Structure 1
């Protein structure tokens, strides 16, 4: 999957290859998502663990999403400016502190404050890991496979987190989960310190701004599509708990649905990756149609979920989401691997991760829609988001055909003009 170059940007030990560093980072990303109990069970903890109810849980998730948006912008800046090692170390330690705080507070104002800081740090590793992958691999298809594996590891980790955490929370409570989450974040910080170089790559020492990277129209269109698609995708960990709570189902039922999602990911990812990416050095298909197909499948899965009332029904819906998740991860991975200029990967990834953060904001609206209009209104809203994502893929395809390379040249020109 990876080549052995460029070793100088990634390695702290000469014997370690760039390939091994990529696998270490992917495994660490999976671990931090598998231990991400603070996010997965935030809504359950606020609604039932502290007794504040469903509307308060939706508010906590919304505040979390605001923090996520802010945190992605900061983590992209840190990655491109200070380097991958510094970004991962600092932000994972801050994430651990937020997890520990969540285990201690119970009042609603304190929970909302902690949710904000938790959102600012929980996904902060993504831009740094994505940047490290692009530094380590020199082929478009190889980078795409690795970037898609980064999203795949997140999906697996989230599903494992829900499956294991649901049963643990049901029998032992929530606070222990949050303490484990904090320890996993500390572990990732230690891995980053040991694995990555202390210095940022030379290309990343140049000054970049979000104005520069947003000069790429393809980035703007794929960011818009990602927002609407991720409303449906993140429904697995935000909307689903709200729906299952309203049905009076216990956390163990949510765990069962997440297990169904995990098994589907494990079974479907290898064959779909071979079909969508292949084994060669070049990409097999344009990314816009893949993203459109993935968005449509995500919309189908989450609208099916909105109409369910049983553990089996929710588990089937969670499995339907999986092909859409895989298509989405391949498309986003292909964009990061082919469109991000050298030294701006952190910000490109931060923009797309920020799109996912924006997509995490609707749970409060979904909770209110559930109270006001029932399951049908929720299904209509989620289906409309999927349709908007599909429609955004058409101008994205035009931008990729006609303006992506000129836009990248404009970004590089801006960088050369503004770099000290």
Structure 2
């Protein structure tokens, strides 16, 4: 009978989650996919406000900006709540609050009500992100890179679906978009409720530390935060300047949409391979090279003229984007103290939101004032400076990871 011992162990292996990840990670990936695939409102919010609600373009832009600024607060609040009331409860509050805010925004018929619903949406829509990131950061370090990579892949797969379906659904009325988006948030909340356990470490016997004093003493975390605010400003300006540049070259919205689809396809196809190749690599060298790729890509997109040139530029910065995504969450998780993981991951997530505010402003101003050649040059120089800065942080990152 002892001859059956080895086959028995092998037979049990398929019941384990793929990639050797716990069920928690697959449940979180499902919430990311559902919320992004159902996130059909954001792309058409300006059109809804101007065409159906009759707001001016300036007012509609201000409402969308309010949602974006609220997203910064949402990231920070989500991290803080994740440390105080738990990762699971914060995600539930975020998804359910988003559903309520979407329903309110879709049914609001006065400007004050629209503003109130927009602020509510901004403050709730991203609560789940730092809380989910903190739940992954609670895992053993060897599982984090693959876990964060899976979440990024699932979110981008959902985003790719949303970009394809949103335009079709909008033909049947903007109201349908709001209810689909709200329903997706409720479904994500149900997944959290049924499948996501609480992972927050037990509360320490001593009083919980305040974030700010710890953060101000953590020079490495401050340096990483500033570096990634600059990186996301560099990267996210592309989504404001590229459509303007392509329009000036005579390319229509369909061509720009094809470039976005190419970005999504590249991520969905390349992300799983990148996780296998980059897991265990230097936590500073990989992001540094990735930043350089992104910089080369966005600089090339500013100076390209043909569809082939734009496609090559998009593929280039997509490769860099994948490299950043694979290493980003794990790097900040390694920096975070156990009792402040949620808050640290909230700050990390907020770097994207802050870049999303600064990037379009800086990019469009530079494009309008100095032209696309200057925009491309500034992007390239910025990427080289960030590449050097990320490499300079390498010894400190390796030391903190080892500790």
* TM range, smaller chain: 0.7 to 0.9
Select between 311-320 and 338-347 the one with higher mean Cα deviation: 311-320
Mapping of residues 30-41 of structure 1, within 5 Å? 30-41=33-44
Give the structure 2 partner of residue 209 of structure 1: 210
The alignment status of 1:164 with 2:156, answered yes or no, reads no
Give the structure 1 partner of residue 102 of structure 2: 99
Cα deviation for residue 311 of structure 1 reads 6.6
Q: 2:278 is matched with which residue: 263, 276, 283?
A: 276
Q: Is the 8 A contact 1:167 1:255 kept in 2?
A: no
Mapping of residues 198-237 of structure 1, within 5 Å? 200-203=200-203, 207-211=208-212, 212-235=214-237
Cα deviation for residue 173 of structure 1 reads 4.9
User: 1:147/1:29 Cα in 2 relative to 1: closer, same or farther (>3 Å)?
Assistant: same
The alignment status of 1:400 with 2:397, answered yes or no, reads yes
Q: TM-score, normalised by structure 2?
A: 0.80
Cα deviation for residue 187 of structure 1 reads 1.4
Give the structure 1 partner of residue 85 of structure 2: 82
3-state SS of 2:339 partner? coil
Cα deviation for residue 141 of structure 1 reads 2.9
Q: Is the 8 A contact 1:295 1:386 kept in 2?
A: yes
The alignment status of 1:333 with 2:329, answered yes or no, reads yes
User: 1:242/1:30 Cα in 2 relative to 1: closer, same or farther (>3 Å)?
Assistant: farther
CA shift digits 1:312-335 (9 cap, x unpaired): 665554333221111111221221
Give the structure 2 partner of residue 7 of structure 1: none
Mapping of residues 97-176 of structure 1, within 5 Å? 97-105=100-108, 114-135=117-138, 137-138=139-140, 140-169=141-170, 171-176=171-176
Cα deviation for residue 178 of structure 1 reads 2.9
Q: 2:28 is matched with which residue: 14, 18, 25?
A: 25
Q: TM-score, normalised by structure 1?
A: 0.77
> What CA distance in whole angstroms lies between the structure 1 residues aligned with 2:203 and 2:374?
49
Cα deviation for residue 356 of structure 1 reads 0.8
Cα deviation for residue 66 of structure 1 reads 1.8
Q: Is the 8 A contact 2:240 2:363 kept in 1?
A: no
Q: 1:349 is matched with which residue: 323, 345, 349?
A: 345
Cα deviation for residue 110 of structure 1 reads 6.1
User: 1:47/1:369 Cα in 2 relative to 1: closer, same or farther (>3 Å)?
Assistant: farther
Cα deviation for residue 372 of structure 1 reads 4.0
> What CA distance in whole angstroms lies between the structure 1 residues aligned with 2:144 and 2:339?
15
Give the structure 2 partner of residue 10 of structure 1: none
3-state SS of 1:117 partner? helix
What stretches of structure 1 of length at least 5 have no aligned partner?
1-14, 278-282, 409-420
Cα root mean square deviation, aligned: 3.6
Cα deviation for residue 347 of structure 1 reads 1.2
> What CA distance in whole angstroms lies between the structure 1 residues aligned with 2:116 and 2:373?
32
Q: Which has the larger radius of gyration?
A: 2
3-state SS of 2:393 partner? helix
- Residue correspondences, number: 383
Q: Is the 8 A contact 1:144 1:337 kept in 2?
A: no
User: 1:33/1:190 Cα in 2 relative to 1: closer, same or farther (>3 Å)?
Assistant: same
Mapping of residues 241-320 of structure 1, within 5 Å? 252-277=254-279, 283-285=280-282, 287-307=283-303, 314-320=310-316
CA shift digits 1:252-278 (9 cap, x unpaired): 54442232112211222232222211x
User: 1:198/1:20 Cα in 2 relative to 1: closer, same or farther (>3 Å)?
Assistant: closer
Q: Is the 8 A contact 2:274 2:326 kept in 1?
A: no
> What CA distance in whole angstroms lies between the structure 2 residues aligned with 1:54 and 1:307?
29
> What CA distance in whole angstroms lies between the structure 2 residues aligned with 1:382 and 1:49?
37
User: 1:103/1:379 Cα in 2 relative to 1: closer, same or farther (>3 Å)?
Assistant: farther
